Structure 1
């Protein structure tokens, strides 16, 4: 009986996903002079009060937001300053370091190669980068001298493991203490900033290091998508920026999304901030994680698939609309409909954060997660290190982004409050 109930629920979910994609197939983002009948604009204006309140209290220096309902932009603004020192106003089209929002775009890139028949999701990574063969798993670690022992991995890690963050790869700089130490000793970077190294050489080194756990047994945020970015370069024969520009950015008109931001766009790049020990906002400096805040403007050849892009709220909304459409946007098809469905399908047999699942590049809201917040089951989301957040809710045909440039932030409730106000404005 339990199996039958679960099967019925799965069938209903799949049917709903298919119907949503069918409805969204030709949706493109547009402005509109006619008010959206599904929106209470008086309630939506509470976002102005919220954002200006944070700026006026000096809890943030600036923020940009966009809300898209049924393909129509219903809210799109900048608040406060893009640069506080010069009092340069935040514009709605200001450019932000989106850090981990890079991941979903690069995940889409590897799935483009999947659609082209150039790889299988169950392919071992070692098929393309032999250094990932015969991997080991960390057993014991000595913190005093960073020596360690290992056991053999029970299987090779796969491309799907990378997409779902279940490979056993950790993060440099922000991961677990043991793995951070191992990565630091072997000069494995986090992906943020300007990296004076060769991507393939670095990933080959990573492949020789132990995994944090047996592949497929846990979820851990890590350098998985940096490895995927390297795989894109190896399999396609193109560097990652050129591949994404040709296959995603140019077809979608994402003209403000770059690893190496063009000089003529530099005046729109926002400043980035952090906090001192008393929680006062101060400018970000090179001493923070060793990341030069001007890195988007510095020419790079190491393209981090997990953290390297800069973009705008609008560009990223277009990308999310394409995903919500089932892989197409206007006359352009980026992914097949079926591959996009897989991308948004829960891939784990456990809840990675206690309430939500993970797809092929996105956090996926579950029934449990929906009960704990505003988003409907099936919403997909993530964010970025410097204070950017996005989600798309297919059931509401809704796309939302809120971007700041500050980490850490003692007043970090802004995105949650923004979300509450968005849903409160829907009729």
Structure 2
């Protein structure tokens, strides 16, 4: 057949080849219009109007929103003020404290080492940090003097336990009363604004403390990802800061993501706001997670790199990271992860353990079929957010990345995030 229709076959092969190239190029984030990205520009004006309304009502000082579909920017806008009193507009390119959005990047770093053959998911943590051998579990806790008793753990915790938050580790400062008290006595923190000591020193102390429950027994949000960051340092021989910079940020073009924002970019750090008792927005605040750590912690410089919450980044940098995951581990010709590694990270990895209607993968919350009944996000959407009001979602079925960034330490208007997501999805053609 091809002998008789050689020209036709050549044309067909060229067409297929060009289509493959075009498909590859489309996975790089580029400027677009709502229509090109599959949205109604008219219906997206609802999002503009709503964000302005939220600002006018004092629900937020300002926000930046970014919506990408099929690699095309459908919506990218800054609304409101970075400084309300000075009427300084919220900059789209501003650097935000992304807090727990750091966890996804640390999880990717661990899975890069998995792809390198340097570790396995079922490896015991004690293989890398010996103090985690012979673990114990909290039995009885006496609140009046913070004394406690322990029982032997059924088994040691593994890297997979950490990635899925099923290890039994709690959170310091923002966890349960028991975890807060026990960790405080050993100078274990949530990781922000730490000036003295190293991650390995702190995690070695953590290994000697009791777990809050038996490994694998339930899902508990805790210091799991800070511990994963320490394992990245031990296995790679690099600081977490250097690993991120050389293995992830520079290859991806994430040129303004930092643990410590340099002085040359300090003016790009977005102001933090909080609410007073009357609900009025106040700039600044000298406490983070209830401790006297100023909100300028990204500027102080530190060698303690919290893999669970320490990064600051502009919204576009993080969009590149998420687009890489949506692409199956590759961005702009650079592959960070194998596509099946991304598949593993974005599927249910906690089995029947309860996490509401949804599940958890290796570093991400996962929308289930049941969970999708309560949200416009399709089943399979993976997401998380940060304590200072930053959120993201990746919807593989819609080939869509959504990010909504504010910088609020606390807010009584938490439903703004869900409103943003509903207003985005309703504009899809």
| TM more than 0.5 | yes
3-state SS of the aligned residue for 2:122?
A: coil
* Alpha-carbon distance, 1:277 to partner: 1.5
Aligned to 2:423: 421
Cα deviation, 1:135-177, whole Å, max 9, x if unaligned, reads 0000001111111111100110000000000000000111111
Alignment of 1:111-126 (within 5 A): 111-126=111-126
3-state SS of the aligned residue for 2:249?
A: helix
1:209 aligns with 2:178: no
1:285 aligns with 2:285: yes
Aligned to 2:135: 135
Aligned to 1:330: 332
Contact 2:94 2:270 in 1 (8 A): yes
Aligned to 1:144: 144
* Alpha-carbon distance, 1:54 to partner: 1.0
* Alpha-carbon distance, 1:365 to partner: 0.4
Aligned to 2:403: 401
Q: Distance in 2 between matches of 1:33 and 1:285?
A: 39
Cα deviation, 1:281-332, whole Å, max 9, x if unaligned, reads 1123223422211111111100000000001111111101100111001210
Contact 2:107 2:362 in 1 (8 A): yes
Query: Aligned to 1:374, which of 376, 383, 391?
Result: 376
Aligned to 1:73: 73
Aligned to 1:315: 317
Q: Distance in 1 between matches of 2:79 and 2:279?
A: 21
Aligned to 1:385: 387
Alignment of 1:60-99 (within 5 A): 60-99=60-99
Q: Distance in 1 between matches of 2:162 and 2:195?
A: 22
* Alpha-carbon distance, 1:358 to partner: 0.3
Q: Normalising to structure 1: TM-score of the pair?
A: 0.92
Contact 2:34 2:73 in 1 (8 A): no
Q: Distance in 2 between matches of 1:276 and 1:160?
A: 40
Larger CA deviation: 196-205 vs 206-215: 196-205
Aligned to 1:295: 297
3-state SS of the aligned residue for 2:295?
A: coil
Give the gaps of 5 or more residues in structure 1.
Answer: 1-22
Contact 2:328 2:337 in 1 (8 A): yes
3-state SS of the aligned residue for 2:79?
A: strand
Aligned to 1:11: none
Q: Distance in 2 between matches of 1:371 and 1:25?
A: 34
Q: 1:361 to 1:144 in 2, by over 3 A?
A: same
Query: Aligned to 2:414, which of 404, 412, 415?
Result: 412
Q: 1:315 to 1:146 in 2, by over 3 A?
A: same
Contact 2:194 2:302 in 1 (8 A): yes
Aligned to 2:258: 258
* Alpha-carbon distance, 1:266 to partner: 1.4
Q: Distance in 1 between matches of 2:136 and 2:25?
A: 44
Give the gaps of 5 or more residues in structure 2.
Answer: 1-22
Query: Aligned to 1:342, which of 323, 344, 353?
Result: 344
Query: Aligned to 1:356, which of 351, 355, 358?
Result: 358
* Alpha-carbon distance, 1:351 to partner: 5.0
Q: Distance in 2 between matches of 1:169 and 1:82?
A: 36
Contact 2:263 2:299 in 1 (8 A): yes
3-state SS of the aligned residue for 1:409?
A: coil
* Alpha-carbon distance, 1:274 to partner: 1.1
Structure 1 stretches of at least 4 aligned residues deviating more than 3 Å after TM superposition: 23-26
Query: How many residues in Structure 1 have an aligned counterpart in Structure 2?
Result: 406
Q: 1:86 to 1:357 in 2, by over 3 A?
A: same
Aligned to 1:16: none
Contact 1:391 1:399 in 2 (8 A): yes
Contact 1:27 1:71 in 2 (8 A): yes
Contact 1:194 1:292 in 2 (8 A): no
Q: Distance in 2 between matches of 1:76 and 1:98?
A: 18
Alignment of 1:25-36 (within 5 A): 27-32=27-32, 35-36=35-36
Q: Distance in 1 between matches of 2:24 and 2:138?
A: 46
Q: Distance in 2 between matches of 1:158 and 1:179?
A: 20
Q: 1:148 to 1:95 in 2, by over 3 A?
A: same
Q: Distance in 1 between matches of 2:50 and 2:373?
A: 24
* Alpha-carbon distance, 1:37 to partner: 6.0
